[in-house]
Structure 1
Amino acid sequence: MTTIESIAYAFPARCLTNQELKQTYPDWDFERLEKRAGVFTRHVAAETETALDLAVRACEQLAQQDRLHADEIDALIFCTQSPDHIMPPNSCILHGALELNPNVLAFDITLACSGYIYGLQLADSLIRSGVAERVLLATADTYTRYIHPGDRATRSLFGDGGAVSIIVESQNARGIRDIRCGTAGTQYKKFIIPAGGMRMPRSASSARETIDHSGNVRTEEHIKMDGLGVLSFFNATVPCSVKETLTQNGLSIDEVDLFVFHQASQVVLDTLRTAMGIPPGKMVYDLAEVGNLVSASIPVALSRAFERGQAKPGQLALLCGFGVGLSWGTALVDL
């Protein structure tokens, strides 16, 4: 059995508040946006600041706390959809920045909101197979770079941030009990940036602005999210994934101490909590000050839950991420 030994996180210095957005967009219905998104401020990366920078700063925090030793890491996984370059991968650059040993396995994965659970699955598999003993899992994104300023649906929701976790073999038979992941590739268009890859290179055409029926301004080079479609899909999928994971482990909702879902939005979390009958006190909400942090959402929410005393050592937690792909993953973890 493996366990999450440590987590650290980092945010950009700049904060963008709803009050600032109101000054720029006085016609937006912020009362409705705040109620549905649950976000009042979010961190926004500076022009020269990247997801890699955030991961490096999070690693520096762990090192300062004497919880990260470069010579002990033997695998590095970096999950991001906003890498520094098309090539090389962020994992290799982070490897160099941390001066890790040359025999360290390092690679990127490009998932988004399900990325932390997928990363845990990979780290767990590497350790169980004997390939690695200590895995550094970095999850960081600067999604605000992909958002059109006039798209209130995404502008009001997403923030930038990064987290790093160290996964090791458990020494006390407590840790990651189970992980289950899933994919619905036929639904990929529900959450997509159409242009910028090899299928649709950027062009004058892809940069042309359009306005949808709700008044959101976008181009083919920005995030296009079918909010209702995504919500409907995961309202049907996530409860089933959670129920399957609990059933396969002989557990009920009542026997889980803490639920840390991807912090998608207030309405998503409220809907899932109600659908599954989760007591409010067991549900982690961490949107108001940071927004939707994509791949960093779950580790940041879990770490901040520890900071405010909602999460405690010895608890049984259920972690669940879902998003781009469409993809999802659920993990049972002893804290």
Structure 2
Amino acid sequence: MNSYINSISVYLPKNTLTNEDLNNEFPEWTAEKISSKTGIFKRTIASEDEFVSDLAIKASIKLFEEHLIDKSCIDFVLLCTQSPDYFLPTTACVVQDKLGLSKNCGALDFNLGCSGFVYGLGLAKGLIASGIAKNVLLITSETYSKYINKKDKSNRTIFGDAAAACLISSGSKAGNICNFVFGTDGSGADNLIVKNGAAKFSKQKSDDVYIDGEFFKNDDNLYMNGQEIFKFTTASVPILVEECLASNGLNIEDVDLFIFHQANKFMLDYIRRKLKIPQDKFLMYFEDIGNTVSSTIPIVMSEAIASKKIKKGMKVLIVGFGVGYSYGATVIEF
């Protein structure tokens, strides 16, 4: 049984963090320097009393309203997040209740970052193919800003908060979800991590660690080894793309558009050139929102549909990669 992306809606928090704001805090980093390094000019940031469930609910309500979806048709909720409201209960259960979805609806969280949307599509397709569900509400919702130390200027320039909600169905109005390729390399787990706070290492107000006077690491907060993430991505993603093309019986010329996880401009440009993808086929949208982790791909897709860059008959290859290390790709036929 085929599975389709029928509709997508996005919620962006109202608060923003601009390059000028960061420059005021870190005078040595000008707004121009930040934008030239990342391609980002501002980021959307959840307020202090706004959490993953709030973003997820607002994105889902927009989905129902914008696309005239009867919420009673939803029979499974998949929520991708690494910043859940609680260790337990499952945030997806909270979202099910707040949205007033059927009590016969399945609901679960899954903990993935930048590959999460692709994995979510795979899970949704499996639920539909097995007959367990007909209409899956796939939500990506993340508030990484709550994990980032205020002194960590590097990560604060990159990450934004957002949520996206998608209806994945057995009936078609839009994109047919094709074959998947997945990958995992847990040897890189320490290179993008919030070490303290769960069962293995309790939160203990760790001291900041500085190298050459610049904030580098605090185990209570998000840590990213940018050099190692870059090495992993530039080595793994081109191979992943070739495997995905082969799995779907395509050549790179057969693909109309490419949507990769929106990590940062430098990384994306490097991969695009390495794969020899024409610039007009390679979509980027993060200048005013930042890297929103699992929501980057559906946000770009939503924008491309609204601006008619994605049209009927197109093949779109999507690629997620990052924390874990975890990576995955598939083709969507519109």
Letter in 2 for 1:51: V
What corresponds to 1:65 in structure 2?
66
What is the identity, as a one-letter code, of the residue corresponding to 1:259?
F
Report if aligned partners of 1:260, 1:283 keep a CA contact under 8 Å in 2: yes
1:114 alignment counterpart = 115
The equivalences for 1:82-93 within 5 A come to: 82-93=83-94
1:6, 1:67 within 8 Å by CA — same for their partners in 2? Answer: no
Judged with a 3 Å threshold, the aligned counterparts in structure 2 of structure 1 residues 17 and 318 are, in CA distance, closer, same or farther, namely same
RMSD, aligned α-carbons: 1.6
Listed one character per residue, the Cα deviations across residues 153-211 of structure 1 (whole Å, up to 9, x for unaligned) are 2110100100000101144896011111110011111111111111110114x2x1111
3-state DSSP class of the match of 2:270? helix
Tell me the amino acid that sits aligned with residue 39 of structure 1.
I
- Counterpart amino acid of residue 249 in structure 1: N
The answer as to whether partners of 1:59 and 1:68 remain within 8 angstroms in 2 is no
Aligned counterpart, 2:129: 128
Mapped partners of 2:175, 2:106: distance in 1: 26
Shift of 1:253: 1.2
1:310 and 1:214 mapped to 2: Cα distance?
45
Does residue 97 (structure 1) correspond to residue 103 (structure 2)? The answer is: no
1:167 maps onto 2:193 in alignment:
no
Distance 2:174 2:16 in 1: 41
Counterpart AA for 1:9:
V
The secondary structure found in structure 2 opposite 1:238 is helix
- How far, CA to CA, are the matches of 2:246 and 2:3 in structure 1? 21
1:16 corresponding residue in structure 2: 17
Secondary structure at the aligned position of 1:203 is classed as: coil
Which aligned runs of 4 or more in structure 1 are off by greater than 6 angstroms?
A: none
The answer for the alignment partner of 1:268 in structure 2 is: 267
Q: Secondary structure at the match of 2:283?
A: coil
2:31 and 2:196 map into 1 onto residues whose CA distance is 30
* Residues 6 and 172, structure 2, Cα contact 8 Å, conserved in 1: no
Question: Could you tell me which residue of structure 2 aligns to residue 256 of structure 1?
Answer: 255
Aligned match of 1:299? 298
TM-score (norm 2): 0.96
Distance 1:244-1:214 versus aligned 2 partners, 3 A rule:
farther
Cα pair distance change 1:214/1:282, threshold 3 Å: farther
The 8 Å contact of residues 234 and 271 in structure 2, kept in 1 or not, is answered as yes
Q: Distance in 1 between matches of 2:276 and 2:190?
A: 31
Q: Residue in 2 aligned with 1:203?
A: 204
For residue 157 of structure 1, give the secondary structure of its aligned residue in structure 2: coil
- Cα shift at 1:313: 2.9
For residue 318 of structure 1, what is the aligned residue in structure 2? 317
Q: Which residue of 2 aligns with 1:54?
A: 55
**Paired letter, 1:248:** S
List per-residue Cα deviations over 1:58-104 (Å, max 9, x = no partner).
11112222433221011110000111111111100010011111111
Distance 2:164 2:8 in 1: 7
Aligned-partner SS, 1:175: strand
Deviation at 1:255, TM superposition (A): 0.9
Q: Deviation of residue 213 (structure 1)?
A: 4.7
Contact 1:6–1:165 (Cα < 8 Å) also in 2: yes
Aligned to 1:289: 288
Q: Deviations over 1:213-232 (max 9, x none)?
A: 58234311111101010111
Q: Distance in 2 between matches of 1:35 and 1:215?
A: 20
Opposite residue 43 of structure 1, the aligned amino acid is T
Question: Mean Cα displacement is larger for which, 165-174 or 153-162?
Answer: 165-174
Distance 2:321 2:65 in 1: 32
Q: Secondary structure at the match of 2:233?
A: helix
Q: Partner residue of 2:229? A: 230
Q: Report the CA distance between 1:124 and its aligned residue.
A: 0.2
Q: Is the 8 A contact 2:63 2:166 kept in 1?
A: no
For 1:218 and 1:321, the matched residues in 2 are separated by 25
Cα distance change on mapping 1:152 and 1:95 into 2, 3 Å: same
Task: Tell me if the contact between 1:136 and 1:167 (Cα under 8 Å) persists in the aligned partners.
Answer: yes
**Contact 1:75–1:135 (Cα < 8 Å) also in 2:** yes
Does the aligned pair in 2 maintain the 1:39–1:157 contact within 8 Å?
yes
Which residue of structure 2 lines up, in the alignment, with residue 181 of structure 1?
A: 182
Give, in whole Å, the separation in 2 of the partners of 1:39 and 1:214: 25
Where does structure 1 lack aligned partners over 5 or more consecutive residues? none
For these two proteins, the number of residue pairs brought into alignment is 333
Partner amino acid, structure 2, of 1:193? V
CA contact (8 A) 1:150 1:218 kept: no
Q: Which moved more, 1:277-286 or 1:28-37?
A: 28-37
> Contact 1:148/1:217 (CA < 8 Å) preserved in 2?
no
Take 1:214 and 1:223, find their aligned partners in 2: how far apart are those partners?
A: 19
Segments of structure 2 that go 5 or more residues without pairing to the other structure are none
